[in-house]
Amino acid sequence: IFEDPWRDQQSLWPYMVFDALVAEEVSNVSIVPKLATDWEISDDGKTVTLTLREGVKWHDGEDLTVEDVLFTYNAQMRNPNGGKKTLLAPVVGYQDVIDGKATELAGMTAEGNKIIFKLEYVDTLFVNHLAYLFILPEHLLKDVPVEELSTYEEYWTKPVGTGAYVIDKGAFPDYFTCVRNGNYWDDKAAIKNVQFTSYDAGGQDAVVAALINGDLDYASGGYINDMVVASNVVAQNSAVTIVTRLFLPLARL
């Protein structure tokens, strides 16, 4: 099964299959709208209001709703495998959920198509953090116990998102494929079909060899992130380019 994207820290596929409320642009790390069309921050910095985009469809044709957002954040807060829940730490009621005193974030509410966060303290990067919290479909997961949310086979065998790509088919652990989402709310993806190939057996050396030989179009994470290794690949295959990304420091006021 696919890994819950709140746990998966390395793979590219969650960014293709799922959407978050916002996204970070790689070129200048500015925040851009995704499932949220816009956001407002109060003068004191402790209230953040995001407007949910209308007309977005899940891959199975169901409408995206604010309930999907509330469900995702609250369920993952209670999920023992939710590896990114600390990104919601500024929200009022966070510690109560962590301590088991509450099942929902008291500081997260919805009014119409708006999601409102009340913060305990000012976090200048709170909206940035939402880029790493992919939204999951309430209608497919609401009856799943939170402790089983990350391993629910009926869903994670072929996960449904709102992203630019749809999971097509797979033969684990060797490969899986994605196809372009023809009903995507934004511009359609330029690449129609994508194949993800596992190099677990050959390890990182096999990945490097595949890049040099032109058998791979993209690789990231781990060994490939070493600039010496990356430069060696480029030196042997001029069609490969190195893309670097700036990470913002965390800030709390």
**pLDDT for the residue numbered 252:** 40
**253 has pLDDT over 60:** no
Average pLDDT over residues 198-223: 87
Average pLDDT over residues 37-66: 97
Pairing of strands 108-111, 47-52: unpaired
Tell me: the pLDDT tens digits for 36-49? 999 999 999 999 99
pTM: 0.87
**Cα distance between residue 184 and residue 161, in whole Å:** 10
Average pLDDT over residues 153-163: 95
Query: 141 near 149, Cβ under 8 Å?
Result: yes
Residue 235's SS3 state is helix
Query: 116 near 48, Cβ under 8 Å?
Result: yes
Please give the residue that has the higher pLDDT: either 27 or 78: 78
**pLDDT for the residue numbered 200:** 81
**pLDDT for the residue numbered 226:** 87
Query: 126 near 48, Cβ under 8 Å?
Result: yes
**224 has pLDDT over 60:** yes
**Cα distance between residue 38 and residue 35, in whole Å:** 9
Pick from 75, 78, 71, 69: which is nearest to 115 by CA? 69
Q: How far is CA 190 from CA 28, 29, 41, 71, 184, in A?
A: 22, 22, 34, 32, 12
**142 has pLDDT over 80:** yes
**pLDDT for the residue numbered 29:** 65
Average pLDDT over residues 150-176: 92
